Amino acid sequence: MRAPSVPRFLLRLQLAGPKYDGGRVEQILALSRLCLALTSLAAWLTRLSITASHFQLVLSLLIAYVGASLALLTLLQIVGEPGDAFTLFAQVNDVAWPALLCLFGEAPNSFFFVLFLFAIIAAAFRWGLPETMTTALVSAAFLMVQASIVAHQPAGMRNVLFAPVEPSRLILRCGFVILAGSMLGVLGETEKELRAEVAVTSHLLSLARVGKGFRIALQDVFSELARIFCGGPAHEVVAQSSSGRIFRWEISLSGDGSAHAQEIAPAATNCELMSNYPHTFFMRRGAVDGRCSITALDEEGRRLAADQVRDLPMPLPDADSVLVVSHEMGRDWYGRFVLLNARLGRQREHELRFAQNVMRQVAPALYSVYLFRGFRLRSSATERAKVARELHDTAIQSLISIEMQVDVLRRRSGDSALAGELGRIQELLRREVLNLRELMQSMRPVDIGPHQFLDFIAELVERFSRDTGIAVRFISELQEVTLPAATCRELARAVQESLVNIRKHSGAQSAVIRFGSQQGLWKLVINDDGNGFPFAGRFTLAELDSTRRGPAVIKERVRAVGGDLVIESTPGHGSRLEITIPQKGYESYG
């Protein structure tokens, strides 16, 4: 089966970048057309030596040409932004008038021949090489047809049409027209591609602006590249030089902001980074024989010889084609952009070089977005820690002082009713102190890694039991863990939220928190003997989402690290939360 054709590179760039400025181009061409028509009319008025009838005929045609040029300029002023129909009509007009004037002009040296050059220049201004070459070929065909008409003219037309053009002169004119069309077409195509490439690069840089979330910026940029190269799906593999950790970002081309990162096992490093493959390459599988053809560039943009890449297999077996571009993101990060089922035109080397240049400019901008996100999170964490300290030093201490004074009054009071009321107030104050402490703990940044994770949970559980009187135990089946730091933070927050829910809603007297690993999964289980959830049964995360049940904060944190959640609830007899996370799982990024 033959592969579907792909639009040429210039059209894909123009569709991806800002709208083409056709109105300004048509304004320039309309003014130039009118000036050329007036100049041709003035030049013809100097030719007084020819017969009066022929002079009047060509004069009438030139006046009509001036009128048509003026009408197009006026129409353009009225319309403002010309459409495709206007542009095509103007191009046909630019070819038809020189054909008509050359037919009735003074052959074989009619100066109206230069009007064909204007039509070719106009095509180069409007479009590119294919359209300009088409115009040149049509112009040459008109010259050939005109010579044939003059050579076989009827007897009644001999006073109107001139003698046929000499074959050598006709061949030279046709060759000149075609040569001019090819040269001007190449210049026009190149100039438009350069402008379109600059516009597209600027557009991609605007998508990677600071202020967006890193995930959204990454998806917007790579989705746009996927549209330019007519491919999908896409992913980005990045590696950190200092730690050796590797992450794979899956890019959603639907624009729903669902891009996410997954940490890659060290054993799959060479496969994911395609370590044995060139810096930038495009590989396509043949539709008939299944053999792969490859076009590759080194890091300087030079094309690699065929014998250097001949034996490389398709890196992704399920793909029909793949476009891979390497890049750097700061001093510590490097990676590859991978686009499956991409389609490139005939100028593959040029398109690969464009992709390489774009990634060199866009990747540092994306890294800036990533750094800005980190700085913003740290700034927010610093502010929250400051507020937490203020709560501890002012509000909590004041409430504890008031609670102690109420306790003294309760003990001294001889009135049992008053003592009971003071006891109730004392209990309310204790609850508010607990609420403020929990708020303070949630506001403080949890800056822990795998080495501090178990100690942090143990200390958290011990402090909770001491403050609330609820017997909570923490049991770890492991002596140490190798969780990513982001996953440690999210799990710690999930435990904090679970303890708050146990105190506020469950009415439990005891609870057990167990952490371990099983079958390639990290497993965190929280059991309590309280009232349970207002539903009975066993539900997965997907089922909880579909029925809008379960603790929203915990579900969100489990999703952030690519984990799964199962809740078992028996109303009146407690509940069980089971969180499982792949041991090489998802990182959490904004």
Average confidence (pLDDT) over 493-508:
84
Q: State pLDDT tens for residues 442-470.
A: 666 566 778 888 888 898 888 888 878 88
pLDDT value at residue 417 = 79
Retrieve residue 117's tokens.
Answer: 């050059």
Given a contact cutoff of 8 angstroms between Cβ atoms, the answer to whether 336 and 274 are in contact is yes
Mean local confidence (pLDDT), 530-549:
85
Report the pLDDT value the prediction gives residue 282, as an integer from 0 to 100.
92
**CATH annotation of 448-590:** 3.30.565.10
The mean pLDDT of 215-238, rounded to a whole number, is: 86
The CATH label, of 3.20.20, 3.30.70, 3.30.460, 3.30.450, for the domain at 213-370 is 3.30.450
Is residue 231 over pLDDT 60?
yes
Helix 485-501 and helix 450-468: axis angle, to 10°? 10
> Quick one: CA torsion of 4, 279, 232, 582, rounded to 10 degrees?
150
Strand locations in 216-360 (E): 234-240, 246-251, 260-264, 280-285, 292-297, 321-329, 333-340
Q: What pLDDT digit, counting tens, does each position of 274-294 carry?
A: 888 899 999 998 877 678 889
Q: How much is the pLDDT for 18?
A: 61
Residue 439's pLDDT is 66
Name residue 27's beta-bridge partners: none
Residue 456 C-alpha from the chain's centroid: 39
CATH 3.30.450 intervals, the chain = 213-370
pLDDT-derived band at 514 (thresholds 50, 70, 90) equals very high
Task: Using a pLDDT cut of 90, give the percent of the chain over it.
Answer: 15
Flag whether pLDDT at 399 surpasses 60: yes
3-state secondary structure labels for all residues of 533-587 = CCCCEEEEHHHHHHHCCCCHHHHHHHHHCCCEEEEEECCCCCEEEEEEEECCCEE
Residue 41 clears pLDDT 50, i.e. is over it:
yes
Question: Is the pLDDT at 212 greater than 80, yes or no?
Answer: no
Identify the pLDDT of residue 165.
Answer: 62
Residue ranges matching CATH 3.30.565.10 in the chain? 448-590
